[in-house]
Homo-oligomer: A and B are copies of this chain.
Amino acid sequence: MKFDLGSELIYTATKDTTLILNIEAQHLRGQRISSETFTISPHARGEAHDVPETANRYRRLLLTPGRYTIRYEATVETDPVTKRPDAVAEMAVDKLPFEVVSHLFPSRYCQSDELGRFAWRRFGDLPPGHGRVEDICDWIHDNVDYLEGSSHGSTSAYDTFTTRAGVCRDFAHLGITFCRALGIPARFVSAYGWKLEPQDFHAVFEAYLGGRWYMFDPTRLSPPDGIVRIGVGRDAADTAFATWFGALESEPKIVWMNEAAGQEEAAAEQAVSVSAT
């Protein structure tokens, strides 16, 4: 599918502040960017930094005091996601590429060291593989209420498991936590998500199965081919859409994602014009 998407952030710096943004769509084989624009007004000194290992794209901007409007717009085409790959197997920990082993360790919001007893009791006897991670997502969907305002910036999987309420980010953290506890590497994915209500940044997670990363969305709020990836990391601490060092006041952000018109033609043209200021 093809989408017009983007976000607009407004910040007022009250002193010199370094702002690190991660709001741009990743360049991936299954996620093609046919056009995009990043603007900040007034102009601020900064740089773009793309991390090859993760495909994460950062902007690091040095804001002097003032009010800034930041806007990212892109047209992105995603490949249709084929149906549930149940045959994909888990990999034994001794077979994992060493680079993904760190995705088995607990992180800021994913205390897999604390939730292992439950994870093994509940999911340990299920047939391993892609289906087991789907079972984890089903459990989250069935046992945790999706409730705006029920969590906050310091809410972790430890809390969500107890209070049984959260938003997409909390759902993803819980899925990651269960996977890691079971010996399945897992990581956080921030994204643009189609059909979210209200529209906002989305969060899903990936599990490492059969030699690659597979995406899972325990909220079931966006269709699989309606998710455009922004950033991956251990958890939300690594993939904040905005991190700053200094003093910043923010106004409500706007995020949008709509089906783009003229889907076939665009695919035919394939005219990629990436313009980032």
- Count this chain's copies in the assembly: 4
Q: Which of A18, A143, A161 has the most CB of B within 10 A?
A: A18
For the complex, what is the distance from the CA of A106 to the CA of B106, rounded to whole Å? 12
Within 8 Å CB of A153, what residues of B?
A: 113
Answer yes or no: A138 CB below 8 A from chain B CBs: no
Answer yes or no: A200 CB below 8 A from chain B CBs: no
B162 touches A115 (CB 8 A): yes
- Closest Cβ of chain B to A187, distance in Å, is 13
Answer yes or no: A171 CB below 8 A from chain B CBs: no
* Partner-binding segment picked from A67-75, A237-245, A253-261, A267-275: A237-245
The 9 closest A-B pairs by CB, nearest first: A18-B93, A117-B164, A183-B245, A18-B94, A93-B245, A62-B94, A105-B237, A49-B98, A106-B108
Q: Which residues of A contact B (CB under 8 A)?
A: 18, 20, 46, 49, 51, 58, 60, 62, 92-94, 98, 101-102, 104-108, 110-111, 113-115, 117-118, 121, 143, 145, 152-154, 158, 161-165, 183, 233-234, 237-238, 240, 243, 245
B105 touches A238 (CB 8 A): yes
Q: List 24 A-B contacts (CB under 8 A).
A: A18-B93, A18-B94, A49-B98, A58-B98, A58-B101, A60-B94, A102-B238, A104-B243, A104-B245, A105-B237, A105-B243, A106-B237, A107-B234, A108-B108, A108-B110, A113-B237, A114-B154, A114-B162, A115-B163, A117-B164, A121-B164, A152-B152, A158-B162, A161-B162
Within 8 Å CB of A162, what residues of B?
A: 114-115, 118, 158, 161-162
Within 8 Å CB of A240, what residues of B?
A: 105
A164 touches B245 (CB 8 A): no
- Closest Cβ of chain B to A118, distance in Å, is 5
Within 8 Å CB of A18, what residues of B?
A: 92-94, 183
Known contacts A117-B164, A145-B117, A165-B117; A237/B107 CB under 8 A = yes
Q: Which residue of B lies closest to A240 (CB)?
A: B105
Taking a contact as CB atoms closer than 8 A, the residue among B60, B98, B117, B154 that contacts A113 in the complex is B154
For the complex, what is the distance from the CA of A62 to the CA of B93, rounded to whole Å? 9
Within 8 Å CB of A93, what residues of B?
A: 18, 20, 60, 245
For the complex, what is the distance from the CA of A69 to the CA of B48, rounded to whole Å? 50
B163 touches A117 (CB 8 A): yes
- Closest Cβ of chain B to A141, distance in Å, is 13
Q: A60-B93, A114-B163 are in contact. List 8 more A-B contacts (CB 8 A).
A: A18-B93, A51-B98, A102-B238, A108-B111, A114-B162, A115-B163, A117-B165, A161-B162
Within 8 Å CB of A104, what residues of B?
A: 243, 245
